[in-house]
């Protein structure tokens, strides 16, 4: 499939992947264009979806653990809606077939991530749950982190005060609630 990219477009994409802060003037020099022409090429690549900017945290640099969970859910739409609001869920992928998911959880410590994993495993209709601690990646460990204000209850409606993992101080609690004991959110 031809996506309409030429060599200059590919070079611009490559340059910005290596250094997203590269100025348009420097890009123009590298691809033998004027600065305005480079600007319009970049805008075209953004509009077509070939360039996108996303902010996140470098988990490795700030020392946050990452846990990958694979599971099956009987009610995939309900499961997905619930997990989208969880601040510990950094990313969520729904696989072909519709009932299989991969989640990436990030937080201040592994015991909290394990507690969140246990909470997910306890949800009605969740099965075939497998998890792995992520120790590295090809492109780094930069993931979005949803900052939240503490309030009444979390998006999953779990009550931290009724959770044995929370009361045994194995979990820092949900950042959406006043019971959160961590310092990241």
Question: Which residues make Cβ contacts (< 8 Å) with residue 24, sequence separation at least 6?
Answer: 35, 38, 39, 42
pLDDT at 163: 87
- pLDDT value of residue 55: 79
User: Quick one: CA torsion of 25, 29, 34, 39, rounded to 10 degrees?
Assistant: -50
Residues spanned by the domain of 104: 57-167
For the full predicted model, state whether its pTM sits above 0.85: no
If asked whether residues 65 and 140 sit together in one domain, one would say yes
Mean pLDDT of the chain: 89
- Model confidence at 157: pLDDT above 70: yes
Q: Does residue 179 sit within a domain?
A: no
Burial class of residue 39 (count of CB atoms within 10 Å of its CB; 0-12, 13-18, 19+) = middle
Note whether 75 and 114 are same-domain residues: yes
Is 1 part of a structural domain of the chain?
no
Q: Per-residue pLDDT for 1 more than 80?
A: no
SS3 9: helix
What is the share, in percent, of the chain residues with pLDDT greater than 90? 55
Task: Let me know whether 96 and 130 are in one domain.
Answer: yes
Q: Are residues 67 and 43 in the same domain?
A: no
Q: How far apart are the C-alpha atoms of 92 and 84, rounded to whole Å?
A: 8
Quote the percentage of the chain above a pLDDT of 70.
Answer: 98
């Amino acid at each position: 499939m031809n996506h309409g990219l030429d060599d200059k477009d590919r070079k611009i994409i490559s340059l910005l992947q290596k250094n997203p802060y590269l100025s348009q003037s420097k890009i123009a020099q590298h691809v033998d264009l004027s600065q305005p022409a480079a600007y319009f090429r970049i805008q075209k690549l953004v509009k077509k979806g070939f360039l996108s900017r996303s902010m996140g945290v470098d988990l490795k640099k700030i020392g946050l653990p990452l846990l990958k969970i694979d599971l099956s859910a009987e009610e995939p739409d309900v499961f997905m809606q619930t997990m989208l609001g969880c601040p510990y869920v950094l990313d969520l992928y729904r696989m072909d077939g519709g009932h299989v998911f991969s989640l990436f959880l990030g937080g201040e410590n592994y015991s909290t991530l394990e507690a969140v994993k246990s909470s997910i495993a306890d949800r009605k209709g969740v099965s075939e749950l497998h998890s792995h601690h992520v120790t590295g990646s090809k492109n780094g460990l930069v993931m979005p982190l949803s900052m939240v204000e503490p309030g009444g209850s979390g998006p999953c409606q779990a009550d931290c005060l009724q959770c044995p993992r929370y009361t045994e101080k194995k979990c820092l609690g949900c950042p959406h609630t006043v019971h959160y004991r961590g310092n990241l959110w």
